Structure 1
Amino acid sequence: MKNFLFASVLICTLLITACKKDDQTTGELFGKWVLTEQYADPGDGSGTYQKVKELKTVTFLPTGETTGEVFEPLTKFKILDSVRLEITTKNINQPLIYYYKVTAKQLVLNPPCIEGCGLKFRRK
């Protein structure tokens, strides 16, 4: 009887957690994003994310192109894997590798920087 009760509780718990919507689930990069925070570090590890004063947008299109004000010299992007994007700009001859993490509501981009830097977006 104890085993049956334990199994029933375990199954109910699994069903409840499986049905719960989780904002941390993997989302899709494509779509319109609003820049909300920027990370800046002076090089000593003391940096933090700061809210931006002007909300700018970027849209990642399935064609590999972007629109918006955040990356004006950005021309194209390519998803390399689940954590890296290849970014092509008008100003630099070779592509840049950005690390990214995307959930249903948030996108975090980490450009190549000597000191820490990053960008946080919310889905629009």
Structure 2
Amino acid sequence: MRFLFVVVLASVLFACSKSKEVAGKESLAGSWLLSSYYESTGAAGEWKPANSLPNRRLELRADGTMAGDLIILNRFETYTTRQDSLVFYGAARQDSLVMPYELESNILMLYPLCYEGCGLKFRRVLP
């Protein structure tokens, strides 16, 4: 009987693991403003404020459409989520861009693929 208890207890402990929550379009939907960007030239990089950049807005809609004036994303019209990445699509879905992302509260981090390391940090624009 003691052996059975230990087996059941071990099964419960090993079966319970934290799973990384993947945000859906509903939680990503909203207006976002680029607050800082990560830049590295091969050495250790740093986050820099994006206040001086003219085009910093990104709007992700719950229906999968998007708008904004960020140069890196201005050719894309729709998006979808795939595990821990956002996939942006151009007209007729002929052009696409995959970016890993993290979402914590009202902060959205996008990580474009680049050699030295780069990132975009957005804050949600609350109504």
Task: Work out whether the TM-score is over 0.5.
Answer: yes
Instruction: Write out aligned runs for 1:1-124 (5 A).
Output: 28-44=27-43, 46-52=44-50, 53-54=52-53, 56-70=56-70, 71-81=73-83, 83-89=84-90, 93-124=94-125
Aligned residues: 97
Over 3 Å counting, the alpha-carbon distance change for 1:80 and 1:26 in structure 2 is closer
Greater percentage in helix: 2
Aligned amino acid, residue 80 of structure 1: R
**CA distance in structure 1 between the partners assigned to 2:121 and 2:22 by the alignment:** 15
CA contact (8 A) 1:98 1:111 kept: yes
Q: Residue 28 of structure 2 aligns to a residue in which SS?
A: coil
Q: Give 3-state SS (helix, strand or coil) of 2:110's partner.
A: strand
Task: String of CA shifts for 1:52-95, please: whole Å, max 9, x gaps.
Answer: 113621110112111111222222211112x11112246xx542
Q: 3-state DSSP class of the match of 1:64? A: coil
CA RMSD of aligned residues (A): 2.3
**If the length of structure 2 is used for normalisation, what is the TM-score?**
0.67
Counterpart CA distance in 1 for 2:37 and 2:57 is 13
Q: Is the 8 A contact 1:26 1:103 kept in 2?
A: no
Give a deviation string over 1:17-55, Cα, whole Å, max 9, x none. xxxxxxxx98721110010001111123x1111001136
**Counterpart amino acid of 2:75?**
P
TM-score (norm 1): 0.68
Q: State the alpha-carbon separation in 2 of the partners of residues 57 and 77 from structure 1.
A: 16
Question: Residues of 2 paired with 1:112 and 1:89: CA distance?
Answer: 18
Partner of 2:12: none
Check whether the contact 1:98–1:110 (CA below 8 A) recurs between aligned residues: yes
Identity of aligned residues (%): 26
**Where does structure 1 differ by over 4 angstroms across 4 or more consecutive aligned residues?**
none
Are the structure 2 counterparts of residues 123 and 74 from structure 1 closer, same or farther at C-alpha, using a change threshold of 3 Å?
same
